[in-house]
Every structure is written in C-alpha cells, then in structure tokens.
Amino acid sequence: MKRISLALMSLMLFLLSGVAYGQSRTVTGTVIGEDDGLALPQVSIFIKGTTQGTSTDFDGKYSIEVPSGESVLVYRFLGYVIKEVTVGNQTVINVSLTPDATTLGEVVVTGYGVERKREITGSIASLGGEKIKNMPMQSFDRALQGRAAGVLVQSSNGVPGGALRVRVRGQGSINAGNEPLYIVDGVQMNTANASSNLSTNPLASINPNDIESMEILKDAAASIYGSQAANGVVLITTKKGKSGATKINFNTYTGWVTPVRQVDMMNTQEFINFRLDQRRNYYTRFSADPDLLEGLSRRNALSGITADQFPALNLSNTQLGQLPQSEFDDFVNGLPTYDWQSEIFSETGRISNYELSLSGGNEKTRFYISGSYNSQEGQIRKFDFERGTLRLNLDTDVSDKLTIETKLNVSAIGQSGTILSGSFFENPTFSGLLVLPFNPIFDETEATGYNEPLAGILAENPVKSLQLNERTTNTKQVSANMAFNYRIADNLRFRSYYGVDYRGLTENRYTDPRSFGGRNTDGSAYAQFNENVNFISTQQLNYDLDINPDNKLNILLAAEYREEINEGFSANAQTFPTPQFRTIQSAAEPTGAGGFYTTWRNAGVFTNVKYSLKDKYFFNGTLRYDGSSRFGVDQRWGLFPSIGASWLISEEDFLSTSGALSELKLRASYGTAGNNRIGNFDSRGLVSSAGAGNYLNLPGLTISGLANNRLSWETQTTLNIGTDYSFFDGRINGSIDAYRRLSTDLLLNRNLPSTSGYGSITENVGELENRGIEFSVNTVNYDKGGLTWSTSFNIAFQDQELLALFPGETNNGSATQVGLPLNVWYNWDWAGVNPANGRPFYYDRDGNLTYNPQNGSSIGDENDDRKVLGNTNSSFFGGLTNTVSYKGFTLDFLFQYDYGKDGTDGTGGFSYDPYEARLNLYTRTSDLVWRQPGDVTSFPRPNITAEPGAVGVGTARALQDLSYIRLKQVTLSYNFPQSMLSNMFLDNARVYVQGINLLTFTNYTGLDPEFTGGSSTGVFPPSKNVTVGVEFGF
C-alpha cells in the first residue's frame, strides 16, 4: 500500500510539472559580463523563433514573458558571444556572457556609436590604447605611425610636442586643408598650430595613457561627418571607470634624449684646402703672373684668418704666392678645428613622466580620474617641453532611464626653443653645421664669453644666440563634454550632447641686446595671446528594432551645430635698458601692435540606417545635409550620402565546414564627404582697414576681397572594396582594401586682370584622384609552453594623378601638372660630371649631353629641357610589429618604413656645393670631388662660380631618395607574478625599458630623412630616446 501511495504521488507530481512546463510564465534575471562580472545594460533578449523580446536595464536586469518551458531565450550584446538558454521550469535565469575573442567580434567605435566589427561595411583602422602604453611621446597622433594601414604620419620637425602631418589615403587637396578631423570623446578638435614662435600640437593636451582606443575612418564611413570629413576622421575614446573596488595605478618613467645622427663636416684643413682649389681653378681663366694668381688664391682661401694669426698676409699677393708651399701648409695644419655641430647637439636631454590614475565606482556611479606630469628636454639646449594634465571621466545612472556622462580634461603646456627651420643665422640646426670650422665658439675676453662676429657669411654665433635669446609658448587647454542619455523605451534612446574645447596660447619672444640680432635695436620683444573657443552640440535619437531574430534595424536621426571663435592680439617693442628686463613694458619704444577676431559655424542634420539579415548580410546608409558659414550664399548647404554593404561569407553553409577558414567577410562602400578647410571669409567681398600709415596717418578703408557667392566645399567621393579574413581560429587574420578617392571642385585661385583691381579669386574647379591598395595581417606564430610570438604587418600602396585644373590649363606651376601626381620635381636632368674637365653635365630634351640646359618660355614647350624627376609623395609605407612573451617577460618592437619619396637636403644645398666658399661643407665632398682628367665622380671641379657658358649644379644633382626603415620602438618589460605580489598589497607590477628611433636605415645623406615637404633646410631633426619605467597597480 505504501509503495502504491508513493507511485501515485510521483505520478501526480510528474503531471503537475508537465502542466507547469507547458504554461506561460514570467522569467527574470540579470546579465553580467564573464570578463569582469559587471552588469551589462541594453542586452537584447528575445524568444527564439518569434519577434517577442526585451532588453536589460542599466543594472543588467530583465523581465520577459515566455509561452512555455520549451522556449529558448537568445541573449545578444555587442562584443560578446551570443548565448541561448532553454527556459525549462526556471523562473529566474541569470546569464554571464563571454567576450567575443574573434576578430569580427571586436567592438569598434564608429561615427556616433559603436558596432561589432562583423557589422562594419566600411574601412576602419583600430588601435587599442595598450599598443601605445607608456610611449615617451607628447601627442597620440605620433602613435599612429606605422600602425594603421593607409595612414601616413610624418614629423614636421623633431621638437618635443611639435606638430605632425597626418595623411589618410594621400593628399586630397591642393589649397584646402589635408589634415583629418580629430574627435576626442565627441568633441571635434581644432588642431591648427597657432604659434608663431614654435611648433605646437593641440593634441598634446591629452595624456596618451588616458586613451582607450583610436579608430580611423578612411572611406565612406567618414561621410556621416559631412563637410568636415573629406580627409578622414580619427576618433579618440578615453578610458572610463567600471563598477567595483577602486583601482589605483601609478606609472613613472625617465630617460635620455640624444640625436639620431650627425653629419661629418670638414675640419679646418679640409675646408681651407678645398677653398684653395676653388680659387686656383677659378684663376685659370686669367692670363697673369702665376705667383700673383697663387697669392690671390691663398689670400682668399684664408679669408677670415687675420694677419695677427698669419703675418704672411701682410705681404703682397705676388710675395704671398712665392711663399714656400710647406710654410703655407704648416700654418694651415696648425689651425684648430671647432666642432660647432657637437656643441649645438651637446645636450643629453632628460625625459620624465609621472602618472596616477584611480578608477572604480558602484552600481550607480563610475569614475576614472588621472593626473600626469611630463617633461622632455630636446637634443639641442633650451628646446624643452613640459606638460601637466588632469582628467575626470564620470558616468552616473540617475535612474533606470537616465544616465549622465561627464568628461573633463585640463592641461597646461610650456615650450621653449628657437627657430626650427630655414636658412637663418639664429637657427642652430642650420648655422651649427655651416659655420666656418676655424671660428672659435667661445672668447673669454668678451663679456658674454662668446666669440662674435664670426668669419664668413654666418657672422652670428648660434650658440650665443641660443643661450641669450628666448622664445616661449604656454598653452592652457580645457576640453569638456556632457551627455544626457535617456531611454524612452527599451528600443528608443535619446542622447543630448554638449562639448567645448578651449585653448589659450601665450607667447613671448625676446632678442637680447647683447646678441647679434639685437645689437642694433638694444634688444626687442614680441608678445602674443591667442584664444580659441570651439563649441559643439549634438542631439540624436536611436531606434533599435528587432523585427525578428533574423532581421534587425537601427535608425539614427540627429542634428549637430558647431561654432568656433578665434581671436588674439600681439605687440612689439624695442630698446631695453638692460638684458635683465625682458618683457614689453620695460621697452622704451613700442614698434607695433595688432589684433584679430574671426569665427565660423557649421550646422547639419543627418540620418544613418543599419540593417542586418541573419547576422551575415549587413547594409549601412548615411545621409547628411550640412551648411557652413565659410561658403557662398548660393552654395552654403550640401548633401553628403553614403552606402555600404558587407557579406559574412564564412557563415554560409558551403563554407561552414571549412577547417582552416574561421571568418571571411566581403564589404563595399561608396560615399561623399566635404572639405571645408579654407579661410573663414574666402567667399566674401571684404573691406579692410588701410591702417594708420595709409595717408598722413589718417585711417581709411580699402576693398580687399572679391565675393564669390558660389564658392563651396571640395567634394571627396570614395569607392572602397575590401575583405576581412581569419584562418585557424584567428591565428592568422587581417584585411585587404582597394580604393579610389576622387576630389572634385578643388579650390583654386584664378588670376584676374590687373584692371579689375584684384589679384585673384577662389573658385571650385579641378579634379584630383588618389587610388591605392592596403594590406594588413596579424599572426600568432608560436604559442606553446608559455612562449608566445605574434606579428602584425601593414603596407599601403598609393598613387595619385591630377586630372584637371581650369579649363584649357595644363599646369599651375612646375610642381602641379595635369596627368601627374602633385608635388613633382621638375628640373634639368643631371647627367654627372665630365671626366675630361670636371664640368657638370645635363641631358637636354632629346637626351643629348649639354653644359647649358634651357628652361624654355613655358613649361613643356619645344625649348624646355626640364623633365619630371620624381615627387615628394610616398609610394608605399607601413609598419612591422613583433611581440614575444615568455613567463612575464615581453619584448615588443616596431619597424616603420616609408618608400618612394624624393627630396633634397636643403642644408646640403649649401654644404654640398662645389661653388660655395662662404660656408662649411660636408666632409664627403673631399672624397668625391673631381681633381684631374680621368676622374669619374659625382662632384664637379671646385670653383667659386659656374664654368663659363654653363649653369650651376641645380636641383637634380641634390635630389635624393628619402626612403627609410626605422626601428621606431623597442620595449622590454616584465610583469611580476601574482604569487610575488599577494603579500605586497599590489594587484600588478611591471618594469620596462624602451627605446625610440634607435636605428635608421637610409641612403639619405642629411640629418634625417623624415620631414614634410621636399626640402629639409635647417629642420630640427627627430631624436633618439631611451627610457626606463615602473608601473604599480593597487
């Protein structure tokens, strides 16, 4: 009987459970991330096979009605693996989602949102903050060098914190700007260098170690930014706090700065003997007493040497020529050589960096706080950089519907230095090489302790000027933004965003009355203040619709307004009572004052629609309508559309069984964007003040600009076809892209007849094409027994052609010709040196040798012997990174390369000249110079002027291949094991040593091949850095 009762009870319970299993019920739960245990908001949850679904709130909680226990809940969240759970008889289901480790599962920041990489239809390069961690650099844009395919980063100079030139897929404009749009946490930055003293970079206001990720939008993906996106868009996202215990991180490093290289200059004996050869060769043109000509040659060779040093200079020219050669040689050999270059570059600069960050929070508030101090001395004394930053990133959940994001970055930067480039006496990089080597640097009999004036054309002592004169630039910058995110419904969100970027720049320049440049004015001073305020507001509405598990739709509607105000003033004065007083109020004589105010505005409305089918077919469309105050009233507004699609082929059944292939995606995009980087008033008819000096010191007005009401932006149309691939579970992955970038409506200046009263007017005309192919590949070469070796490689090939200028016009100067790339070298073709007489040879237009090539009356006419010799554009560039890790040790090194660019050593234009006698010369000229018939060499016979009936040595001879490969970064680090740290109250500890620019492989003969433009005359070169550091986490 007891057994029968138990059987009946079991049967009843079974039947009841079956009824419960088949009935509808409410399931609740919480969704967290498996990686950090934190709640995941906005996780999409739906019942498989239906359109019924919901999403988690900001605490990761959810509630959903299910029809039966057989229902399967599907959990989806960006960057995590999709998870399916059968309900069964559960009423509470807590789920932890696993981060998607596949390459296409990565989350990428895109325009006004984030996407899984698998959903992206455009070409986007992504760089995580860990890749640039602790690099001794002042601005994050330098970290892109060699790490992003198709993004060419070049130093304008080697000044700490100086400006860089960044080109995304080539140069797209002739006269408008070519820099990409930088957006930091939603704030569209003004990156113009407003300094007249030094090279500054507004992006240096951000501590690179505060950056979470960087994305570069290279094609139609940038079209969502409309009239500002023609040159690509760089998105910067800074770090955020996460719920949990407060984490404290301290990091510091210190190191040394030295020159990358120096060039060998002639010593005193080499220089005087070379100058003697010049004079001897020159005087062969004259029929005169040989002793007289020899005396003239010797006297001129010793120009700058006094009779007190060599009494024979008191003799007549004939007597000086009769002086025994041995006596002349003994004197020359006894002269000292002063190494000006080593004195200029004698500074071993120091680098110091200190950082402290705190991050954490609770369920309602999350924070990231950091402070940093960075200083770097340059390889040349008095070139210094100093920066302090403070950052606060705060996220607050006011309710389950409202979240407020606040970000604040405050920085103060101080820089000092002198002239950075050009053939100026005061420029140490120029004068330090070319001062005549027998000039002493110091003179103890002088009050300042320096020798001046110097013999030769460079009379100013650059070491003295560097020591006495001052140039300082101080920048205060505040970047702040606030966003209100309100969840109207589970699938409808509103975001109200406001951002501001303020930059105040103060500059002072003082020329000491004891210096060469200040001696005639008793000293002079210049002061400037420049203020830039950049405001942006974006209002956006996002709607997510899961039509069913296979069909998903996302719609963005937004409006944006940006305004920028720039104003400043400056003043000059001279005549100071003493060098101790160095500010303008101490000067007796004001010499000038000026000021300006300018502003521009941009407004736009836009929409973006994304559609995915079965999570393997993706479509993306954007439409933006933009208006800019910079353009004419008839063309102020423009439409910028784009469309993209991608196909995840590896999800198809016919590839699902492929063992080697893990992921394969094809994508294509087409879109337009605008370039509004022109003057704020280029389209306006302008009236300007003529100034007080116009007539009898009376003020007046003059018409200074002709209006063009149809002036509009340049338009960039980009077609991109690409593929993303992954093999062997991600051990090999990468992407391939091919693109065509067409620039139309180029902004060019049309010359006007002099009778019009105007010089020119800006018009939209002309076309330029850039095209290229980009490859990137990442591999895990070895992963076994604790040893891991991985490699990343990228390369970009690019080509360019100017398609059109004004109708009927084939060129706009020798460097800009239709049918050719921009920035071509157009000159006589160097043929070398005639072995018979040492005279320079050229090829004429027919390929025949000539001493006297012609320019013709116009470019390319029947008398023009010039030809295209090359251009300043890179043919291909990229980088190779290797990372080797073993039991806590990590070795990481990056080789960066740039090939195909042609340019000249501008300083070498002076110091590699067979006809130059007033400046010091490169040592190698002594080995290369033609001396006697039969010599086969590249350096002509020395002389003080070109040979009769011939031209000089010209540009073609000085043109060099600027290609190089550089060991850009090497880092060796050690992470201490947790077992060692557990008793020290540390979460992590790391020590590291790092080198920057340690090796450079190039055939370029100047100081360094990395510079912008075609010539490096006196350009401050990059430096070599070595640092050691420690990092602790609590």
> Cα(643)–Cα(619) distance, rounded to whole angstroms?
8
CA separation (Å) from 9 to 4, 18, 21, 691? 9, 14, 18, 107
Give the count of beta carbons closer than 10 Å to the beta carbon of residue 635.
Answer: 18
b/e for 811-843, b at 16 or more Cβ within 10 A?
bbebbbbeebbbbbbbbbbbbbbbeeebbbbbb
pLDDT category at 164 given cuts 50, 70, 90 is: confident
> Cα(806)–Cα(766) distance, rounded to whole angstroms?
6
Estimate to the nearest angstrom the gap between the alpha carbon of 190 and the chain centroid: 14
Place of tokens 């003969």: 1005
Q: What are the tens digits of pLDDT across the range 605-663?
A: 999 999 999 989 999 999 999 999 999 999 999 999 999 999 999 888 887 777 788 89
Report long-range pairs for 273-276 (Cβ below 8 Å, ≥24 apart).
273/301, 273/332, 274/921, 274/925, 274/926, 274/929, 274/942, 275/300, 275/301, 275/303, 275/917, 276/301
Q: What are the tens digits of pLDDT across the range 820-842?
A: 999 999 999 999 899 999 999 89
Place of tokens 């930055």: 189
Q: What are the tens digits of pLDDT across the range 905-958?
A: 888 888 888 888 889 999 988 888 999 999 999 889 999 888 776 777 777 788
Sign of CA dihedral 918, 924, 925, 931: positive
Residues in contact with 585: Cβ distance below 8 Å, sequence separation at least 6, in sequence order: none
pLDDT value, residue 254: 95
Residues in contact with 877: Cβ distance below 8 Å, sequence separation at least 6, in sequence order: 152, 795, 796, 897, 898, 899
Strand partners for 535: 500, 563
pLDDT value, residue 416: 92
Strand partners for 206: none
Q: Which of 893, 898, 1026, 892 is nearest to 962 (CA)?
A: 898
pLDDT category at 745 given cuts 50, 70, 90 is: very high
Place of tokens 């040893």: 787
> Cα(157)–Cα(1020) distance, rounded to whole angstroms?
5
Q: Which of 790, 776, 966, 972 is nearest to 883 (CA)?
A: 790
Identity (one letter) of the amino acid at 594? G
pLDDT value, residue 104: 56
DSSP string covering 775-787: EEEEEEEEEETTE
Cβ-contact 222, 673 below 8 angstroms: yes
> Cα(969)–Cα(467) distance, rounded to whole angstroms?
32
The yes-or-no verdict on residue 236 having pLDDT over 60 is: yes
Q: Which of 791, 789, 792 is nearest to 776 (CA)?
A: 792
Q: Which of 161, 258, 158 is nearest to 207 (CA)?
A: 161
The yes-or-no verdict on residue 809 having pLDDT over 60 is: yes
Q: Which of 715, 907, 650 is nearest to 176 (CA)?
A: 715
CA separation (Å) from 234 to 181, 203, 692, 726? 6, 12, 45, 25
Place of tokens 């040159």: 231
- The DSSP secondary-structure symbol of 940 reads P
Q: Which of 345, 352, 360 is nearest to 394 (CA)?
A: 360
pLDDT category at 858 given cuts 50, 70, 90 is: confident
Q: What are the tens digits of pLDDT across the range 98-111?
A: 877 555 556 777 87
pLDDT value, residue 99: 76
Q: Which of 538, 529, 602 is nearest to 566 (CA)?
A: 529
> Cα(350)–Cα(543) distance, rounded to whole angstroms?
53
Q: What are the tens digits of pLDDT across the range 385-404?
A: 999 999 999 999 999 899 99
Q: What is the mean pLDDT of residues 240-264?
A: 91
Task: Tell which wins on pLDDT, 42 or 530.
Answer: 530
Residues in contact with 1020: Cβ distance below 8 Å, sequence separation at least 6, in sequence order: 157, 158, 159, 162, 378, 380, 383, 420, 421, 429
The pair of structure tokens assigned to 1009 is 């091949």
Alpha carbons within 13 A on the beta-carbon side of 643: 0
Give the count of beta carbons closer than 10 Å to the beta carbon of residue 756.
Answer: 11
> Cα(947)–Cα(842) distance, rounded to whole angstroms?
14
Which helix H or strand E contains 605, and what residues bound it?
A: strand 589-613
Most confidently predicted of 61-70, 378-387, 432-441: 432-441
The pair of structure tokens assigned to 56 is 């988690």
Most confidently predicted of 151-165, 744-758, 1001-1015: 1001-1015
